[in-house]
Chain A
Amino acid sequence: MNTESRRKQFEEIFIQYFPKARTFAAILLKSEQEAEDIAQDIFVKLWEQPNLWEENLVRNYLYTMVKNHVFNRIKRKNIESNYINSQINLSSPEDMTEFKDPLNEVYLEEMQLLLKLSLEQMPDKRRQVFEMSRFEHLSNNDIAEKMDLSVRTVEQHIYLALKDLKKLFFIAFFFIKF
């Protein structure tokens, strides 16, 4: 393959797949800069292997490479920050959502993480009220006083939070079995 046709072919693949590779890394790492670095390194390697430039091969190859690079970055970061394997001691999701799932124990870690991520999506007030109620075990009256809300509003917040979470867990639970 002469240099010019090799370049042309490489650039076609680059234009199609570079943004995809970069975006995939960026959404997992939540860092545009790191994602850009990873994607560049992978394409430097790809340049050396023209036998992989075929549509199907390149798609699988890029996925594996991006995933491996992202995982390695994450593991390195975890070691660098001396991250200690601390279990966020949430009460069990079952207590919190009153949703019983026989697989709760198997997927405990998944459920806790799902819960944590979902809580962060709630409006601030609702999340605060819910956390006070379930993590700090305050009564609705105490919460109302602390937050300067009516007891009824507190009850309403808790009800809505529970409804959100139940829906979330139910959907996840329902589909995992089928």
Chain B
Amino acid sequence: MENYFNRIIDLFVKSDVSADSQVEFQRWLTEEKFSGEKEKALRGLWDNMEKSNSAEASSQTRQSLRKVYKKIKQQRKVNIKFLRFWQVSAACLLIALLSILYSIHYETPVNADLIEQYVPIAEMTRFTLPDGTEVQMNSTATLLYPAQFNGESRSVYLIGEANFKVAKNEAQPFIVKSNDFQVTALGTEFTMKVYPDDPLLTATLLSGSVEIKFNNMESSLILKPSEQFTYNKRTKEETINHPDLHDVTAWQRGELVFKSATLEEIIPVLERKYPYSFVYTASTLRNDRYTFRFKESTPLQDIVDIIVEVSGNMKYRIEDNKYYLSPLSLNR
């Protein structure tokens, strides 16, 4: 199967080309126009490339492996220095996870194995649970669920953001648990966001009705359709809003929507959606609030370009998958 797209990529890959054509080809390749066709041709190229079948590595590969191990070690040092806070929160999360795992096991028969569904950075996934419930998960989300729901309830454990279209079964309520937060549903559709690095837990009901338990399961309330419940883990504040449902479900269409959000809130979202991290000092980010709407598969660089432009007080440079943000010096 050949077409213009395969043909161009084929020709470029197989031959020596001038510097000029190289720039032109690369610009063409990364352009949005016909990105589906280009993707197909690229994927074909990747699939046709042989992986290495010998168990022996070449000396070049060995050398690369040594360098990768060195980088892994270095990265660990950086993590220990700067991410003490995340370690603490991860430790808290682990304890919560273990206790909830225990409770899931406790409620479900012994032979029900738990399955883990994980979505890597920059990807999304959609799948169906054994009871017919449809789940769509956002980047870096993790969902744990039993291979069979045969207890009194259908319990799953979520870290991250996901949308559930719950299969109706009134005899067996569907429960999404997370660290001191849980949503119980019958037949309904709702979206839930519980990232460990985000103090805000939210659940938005699209249709049906759900019961939410929070604050160490001591408080509870019933949500009506199109209501959004937000709970702040740090301040223990709870609020109910009526957000634009189109914005709440934007991530399911690959769009990014920020409504009067600070950069401190925006950056973790970008870091989940793209394989890049941001490095900055606290004083670089001001408390200004921004509203942005980015369409599906906007390149990260375009987003950062716009944010920097709109903020007017920052510049950035990219190095090794990191965006370094720094204040714009006024006396240029």
**Residues of chain A at the chain B interface (Cβ within 8 Å):** 11-12, 14-20, 22-24, 27-30, 36-37, 39-41, 43-45, 47, 49, 51-52, 61, 63-69, 71-72, 74-79, 81, 83, 85, 88, 107, 109-111, 113-114, 116-118, 120-121, 168, 171-173, 175-176
Contacts and interface: CB of A to CB of B under 8 A. Distances in A.
Given A74-B30, A114-B7, A172-B3, A41 B321 contact: yes
B24 A116 contact: yes
Given A64-B123, A175-B3, A20 B8 contact: no
Contact of B52 (A16, A24, A41, A172): A16
Contact of B8 (A22, A52, A78, A110): A110
Contacts of B120: 49, 52, 61, 64
A83 B23 contact: yes
A99 B243 CA distance: 56
A47 B299 contact: no
Interface string B7-40: 1100111010110011111111110011000000
A48 to B, nearest CB: 8
B241 interface: no
B325 to A, nearest CB: 16
A20 B50 contact: yes
B321 A113 contact: no
Contact of A109 (B7, B28, B116): B28
A168 B7 contact: yes
Contact of A83 (B18, B27, B53, B67): B27
B30 A114 contact: no
Contacts of B65: 11, 14-15, 18
A71 B24 CA distance: 14
A161 B52 CA distance: 39
Contacts of B67: 40
Given A72-B300, A117-B11, 18 more contacts: A15-B56, A16-B52, A40-B68, A41-B320, A44-B71, A44-B72, A64-B122, A64-B123, A65-B122, A69-B275, A74-B29, A74-B30, A83-B23, A110-B34, A114-B11, A117-B17, A121-B11, A176-B4
Contacts of A69: 275, 321
B46 A24 contact: yes
Contact of A78 (B17, B21, B27): B27
Interface in B50-92: 50-58, 61, 64-65, 67-68, 71-72, 75
A90 B82 CA distance: 54
B49 interface: yes
A12 B51 CA distance: 12
Contacts of A36: 64
B289 interface: no
Contacts of A175: 1-3
B42 interface: yes
Interface residues of B, number: 61
B21 A16 contact: no
Contacts of A29: 26
A16 B34 CA distance: 32
A102 B120 CA distance: 42
A88 B24 contact: yes
B64 A39 contact: yes
Contacts of A71: 29-30, 299
A65 B139 CA distance: 14
B318 A40 contact: no
B222 interface: no
A147 to B, nearest CB: 21
A19 B58 contact: yes
Contacts of A107: 4
A17 to B, nearest CB: 6
A83 B23 CA distance: 9
B126 interface: no
A74 B64 contact: no
Given A52-B120, A65-B275, A20 B51 contact: yes
B301 interface: yes
Contacts of B245: none
10 contacts: A19-B58, A28-B29, A41-B320, A71-B29, A111-B4, A113-B24, A117-B12, A118-B11, A121-B15, A173-B4
B75 to A, nearest CB: 6
A11 B64 CA distance: 11
A19 B275 contact: no
Contact of B75 (A16, A18, A44): A44
Given A20-B50, A72-B301, A83-B27, A117 B8 contact: yes
A175 B120 CA distance: 35
